[in-house]
């Protein structure tokens, strides 16, 4: 389950890098019209281009900060999900181990009940001499 956490972190880093790259490109593209507007600013004094640029950059920064915040929240959610999956997997493994132990115990009990019992060892006793053998020796 540690691999899932690693994948989640890698995914979050990839998204973060993508956001940074998009922000950088957007700022490069957005700066060109402002550069031209600053050149023309001396002719049009009604609006300050620098003020417009600051506002635009402020909105842009806010947008990308919100995207980073969303990515962070996604990472937290994914981390919680991974933790739950790891916990459930561990509990499942414990349940499987218990079931395997129960099956093993039942198999041992079944084996004992099926095995034939060994006969008890018989005592060997000396045979008594019969009375006929005594009579034959007495009459002789």
- Please report which helix (H) or strand (E) contains residue 106, including its range: helix 49-114
Q: CA torsion, points 98, 103, 109, 110, in degrees to nearest 10?
A: 170
pLDDT of the residue at 51? 80
Answer whether 56's CB lies under 8 Å from 27's CB: no
Cα distance between residue 75 and residue 13, in whole Å: 10
| Closest by CA position to 68, among listed 12, 116, 117, 1 | 12
pLDDT band at 117 (very low <50, low <70, confident <90, very high): low
Give tens-digit pLDDT for 29-82.
888 888 888 777 766 666 677 888 888 899 999 999 999 999 999 999 999 999
pTM, rounded to two decimals: 0.43
Cα distance between residue 39 and residue 33, in whole Å: 10
* Other C-beta atoms lying within 10 Å of the C-beta of residue 93: 10
SS3 call for 26: helix
């Amino acid at each position: 389950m540690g691999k899932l956490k690693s994948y989640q972190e890698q995914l979050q880093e990839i998204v973060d890098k993508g956001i940074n790259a998009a922000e950088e490109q957007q700022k490069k593209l957005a700066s060109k019209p402002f550069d031209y507007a600053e050149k023309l600013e001396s002719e049009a004094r009604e609006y300050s281009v620098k003020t417009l640029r600051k506002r635009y950059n402020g909105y842009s920064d806010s947008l990308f900060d919100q995207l980073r915040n969303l990515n962070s929240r996604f990472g937290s959610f994914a981390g919680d999900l991974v933790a739950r999956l790891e916990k459930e997997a561990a509990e499942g493994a414990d349940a499987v181990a218990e079931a395997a132990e129960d099956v093993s115990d039942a198999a041992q009990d079944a084996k004992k009940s099926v095995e034939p019992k060994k006969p008890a060892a018989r005592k060997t006793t000396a045979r008594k001499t019969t009375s006929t053998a005594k009579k034959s020796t007495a009459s002789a």
